[in-house]
Amino acid sequence: MSTNKFLAVIVFTFCFALSSGATKQKPLKGEELLRSLEADFAADVAQHGHDAFISHFADDGVEVVDGGDFNDKDAMRKEPPWSDGTTLTWTPIKAEMASSGDLGYTYGHYIYTAKNKAGKLTTSYGKYTSIWKKQKDGQWKVVVDMGNSSPDPKDSKDPKTTN
């Protein structure tokens, strides 16, 4: 083998070793995992709306409706699709994993924008809690999601309510 070919093989092997080592990341755990799950959930909902919201629920998951009842996954599927302009965004301010590593929760603030009965986009604010559970197949799904509306945090006079 010529020296140039030998060097090329060495350089290629070295570069391959570096690149394959760089792509291997430690699996996320605990708070980092829950925050990542929430970020993926929010990104999916931002892109695909109501259908994406439902897809992140476990088969036995429930939504505690603000001022209403409990919606299981079948009831959520029967809700009409979101109208144009509807958005739901949220940001966790706390995430905690059980020591067992198979159950965790997040809570934070949400912003929901949708058309009112007159067809005008209106924005509402609130707080949410999501409880996540690792499923038998290894996927993480929401088993309980609840939210309650609250005033616009910018209008609050108590700084503790905006955290």
Q: What is the pLDDT of residues 36-90, one digit of tens each?
A: 999 999 999 999 999 999 999 999 999 999 888 999 999 999 998 898 999 999 9
In a domain, 108, yes or no: yes
Distance of alpha carbon 34 from alpha carbon 28, whole angstroms: 9
Per-residue tokens: 117 = 């009965």
3-state SS, residue 106: strand
38 part of a folded domain? yes
21 domain-assigned:
no
Q: Is 101 inside any structural domain?
A: yes
Residue 72 domain flag: yes
3 state DSSP class of 93: strand
Q: Is the confidence at residue 19, as pLDDT, over 80?
A: no
37 located within any domain: yes
Who's near 94: CB < 8 A, 6+ residues apart? 106, 107, 108
**DSSP element (H, E) containing 50:** helix 50-55
**The pLDDT of residue 7 is above 60:** no
Q: Is residue 3 part of a domain?
A: no
Residue 63 lies in a domain: yes
Domain total in the chain: 1
**Residue 56's CATH number:** 3.10.450.50
Q: Which two tokens stand for residue 67?
A: 């001022």
Domain that holds residue 103: 29-162
